[in-house]
């Protein structure tokens, strides 16, 4: 039956204005319903089946929008809403004070607001995407009013990436909840890929997908065009909203480091040259943390850092303090009080200049001569995409108030340990936290840009039980080796060694040279002024 253009509902089943729902064997199936105020409306029905209808579309599939909701259940119970197409409404499916209904296998998309809205007073309603999709709706795929469906929270996706068997998705939920896993370009359920059950601690994972081809899913996760999503359903039949966006492959900066669970390993991968993956685990004083990196497909190193966010905040606070001092003293120092002859380039050490202390406004383009910059001095391998965080640049190209100015400097200052064995040998560090607090940051990076996008590595961080840290040893810490001038040990055959501070001229020589320069300048000024040099 085709029902188009009614002023109210296309199909309405109304069994009284008040009182309990009435059990009636009613089936609404095979209809095309569009251009109405509401598509299908059922009031005070116990049982009933709504299956195989096209709501909000014409017979050819063209949009036929409803001004209200596509399907409405009002004080209905134990109805089944199965395999319908529900599009172009204010809401897709709207449940009002309804109990124990099953919404399964429906294609719900392109609605102005939520795909499914479980309104106040509705409980124990089960929502399964299954073979269809809930996607591309105006707000949420599934929305629960406060307290609806028992107030069940959405599960959390903690990891989604490559595994030894292809794809691993894992997270947390209510203990023993049934978890439905989806992937979607945004925050809904575009494709249902599997179902699993949380254990007694609420942990769940799935790495077996039957005949599902996971290659395009992995490619979408890697490209950031797909995200792993999940819903959970408790033993009473209450289904949650979709989870927030999972990490996918977005942990390529320390700002977006993935939180690890103590003793629980994950599989992850590096998909391009000079890319890193970052992780973190909470720590406290006097602890041992053992980090193991195994199943390497490329020559990858393991690096540990103290809490980089804490370092960055301290650096930013220091920079703000200096800026306040400069503001307070501005006007007390005149440019005429500074003689360029009093500044000698030999007195400036490049190691004393931190990129985090430079402000673009302090650099005048007229002071930079293009002839002073040699293209041979810039090595592309010295520029790492991980050092540029898109979150630090707004849509206008302006830096925000985040960690941008101190991003790399904080990372360098926080460095604590490195394990960099040759080849595919596993990496392992046992780290003594001593008095550190916050998070321990962990970085995996390919040696000289090495990567393998076909094989996932396995990383696990474990806080070890320890009665006393006396005599604790951090294994595979920074190991001093003689500097190499082998061309193969440098990217792009560059031969640049940065001398340590100890390689500068001795302090006495520098002081004598400074005195000679000052005497020479005094003599030159005296000659210009026509006075004796010793005046």
Closest CA to 169 of 130, 200, 224, 209: 209
Computed over every residue of the chain, the mean pLDDT equals 78
Assess whether pLDDT exceeds 50 at residue 529: yes
**Which residues share a beta bridge with 69?**
none
Q: Are strands 288-294 and 427-432 parallel, antiparallel or unpaired?
A: antiparallel
Q: What is the mean pLDDT of residues 477-495?
A: 42
The DSSP secondary-structure symbol of 261 reads: P
Q: What is the pLDDT of residues 20-68, one digit of tens each?
A: 666 677 899 999 999 989 999 999 889 999 999 999 999 888 999 989 9
Give the DSSP H/E element, type plus range, for residue 218: helix 215-223
pLDDT at 29 (0 to 100): 95
The C-alpha atoms of residue 85 and residue 50 are separated, in whole angstroms, by 11
Q: What is the pLDDT of residues 60-72, one digit of tens each?
A: 889 999 899 999 9
Separation in Å, CA 237 to CA 51, 81, 116, 125, 322: 20, 15, 16, 6, 59
Entry pTM: 0.51
Q: What is the pLDDT of residues 357-368, one digit of tens each?
A: 444 444 444 443
Closest CA to 199 of 227, 172, 175: 175
CB within 8 A of 466, min separation 6: which ones? 286, 287, 288, 472
pLDDT at 451 (0 to 100): 85
Whether 429 contacts 419, CB under 8 Å: yes
Whether 132 contacts 106, CB under 8 Å: yes
Q: Pick the range with the lowest mean pLDDT from 6-10, 227-231, 297-301.
A: 6-10
Q: What is the pLDDT of residues 111-162, one digit of tens each?
A: 999 999 999 999 999 999 988 999 999 999 999 999 999 999 999 887 888 7
pLDDT confidence band for 258 (50 / 70 / 90):
confident
pLDDT confidence band for 219 (50 / 70 / 90):
confident
Q: Pick the range with the lowest mean pLDDT from 13-27, 62-76, 100-114, 403-417.
A: 13-27
What DSSP letter does each residue of 299-339 carry, written as one string?
Answer: -EEEEEES-HHHHHHHHHHHHHHHHHHHHHHTTSS-GGG--
pLDDT at 490 (0 to 100): 40
């Amino acid at each position: 039956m085709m029902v188009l253009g009614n002023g109210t509902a296309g199909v309405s089943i109304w069994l009284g204005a008040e009182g309990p729902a009435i059990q009636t064997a009613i089936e609404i199936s095979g209809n095309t319903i569009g251009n109405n105020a509401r598509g299908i409306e059922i009031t005070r029905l116990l049982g009933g089946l709504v299956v195989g209808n096209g709501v909000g579309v014409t017979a050819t599939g063209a949009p036929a929008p409803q001004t209200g909701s596509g399907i409405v259940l009002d004080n209905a119970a134990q109805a089944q809403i199965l395999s319908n197409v529900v599009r172009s409404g204010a809401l897709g499916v709207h449940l009002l004070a309804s109990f124990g209904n099953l919404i399964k296998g429906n294609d719900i998309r392109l609605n102005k607001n939520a795909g499914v809205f479980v309104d106040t007073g509705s409980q124990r309603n089960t929502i399964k995407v299954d073979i269809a999709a809930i996607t591309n709706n105006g707000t949420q795929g599934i929305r629960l009013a406060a307290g609806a469906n028992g107030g069940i929270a959405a599960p959390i996706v903690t990891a989604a990436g490559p595994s030894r068997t292809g794809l691993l998705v894992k997270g947390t939920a209510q203990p023993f909840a049934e978890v439905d896993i989806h992937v979607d370009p945004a925050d809904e359920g575009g494709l249902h890929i599997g179902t699993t059950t949380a254990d007694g601690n609420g942990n769940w994972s799935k790495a077996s997908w039957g005949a599902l081809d996971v290659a395009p899913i992995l490619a979408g996760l890697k490209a950031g065009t797909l995200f792993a999503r999940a819903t959970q359903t408790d033993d009473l039949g209450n289904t949650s909203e979709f989870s927030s966006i999972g990490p996918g492959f977005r942990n390529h900066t320390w700002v977006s480091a993935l939180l690890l669970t103590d003793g629980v390993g994950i599989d992850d991968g590096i998909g391009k040259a000079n890319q890193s993956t970052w992780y973190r685990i909470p720590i406290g004083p006097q602890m041992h943390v053992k980090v193991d990196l195994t199943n390497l497909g490329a020559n990858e190193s393991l690096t540990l850092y103290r809490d980089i966010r804490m370092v960055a905040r301290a650096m930013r606070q220091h920079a703000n303090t200096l800026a306040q001092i400069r503001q307070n003293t501005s006007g007390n120092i005149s440019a005429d009080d500074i003689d360029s002859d009093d500044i000698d380039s030999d007195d400036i050490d490049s190691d004393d200049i931190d990129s985090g202390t430079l402000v673009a406004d302090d650099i005048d383009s007229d002071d930079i001569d293009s002839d002073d910059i040699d293209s041979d001095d810039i090595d592309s391998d010295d520029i790492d995409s991980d050092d540029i965080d898109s979150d630090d640049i707004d849509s206008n190209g302006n830096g925000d108030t985040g960690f941008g100015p101190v991003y790399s400097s904080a990372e360098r200052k926080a460095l604590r340990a490195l394990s960099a064995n040759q080849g595919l040998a596993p990496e392992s560090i046992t780290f003594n936290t001593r008095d550190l607090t916050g998070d321990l940051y962990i970085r995996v990076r390919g040696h000289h840009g090495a990567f393998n996008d076909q094989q996932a590595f396995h990383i696990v961080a474990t806080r070890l039980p320890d009665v006393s840290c006396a005599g604790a040893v951090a294994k595979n810490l920074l190991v001093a080796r003689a500097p190499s001038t082998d061309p193969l040990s440098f990217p792009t055959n560059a031969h640049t060694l940065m001398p340590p501070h100890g390689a500068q001229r001795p302090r006495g020589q520098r002081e004598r040279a400074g005195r000679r320069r000052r005497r020479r300048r005094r003599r030159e000024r005296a000659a210009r002024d026509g006075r004796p040099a010793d005046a």
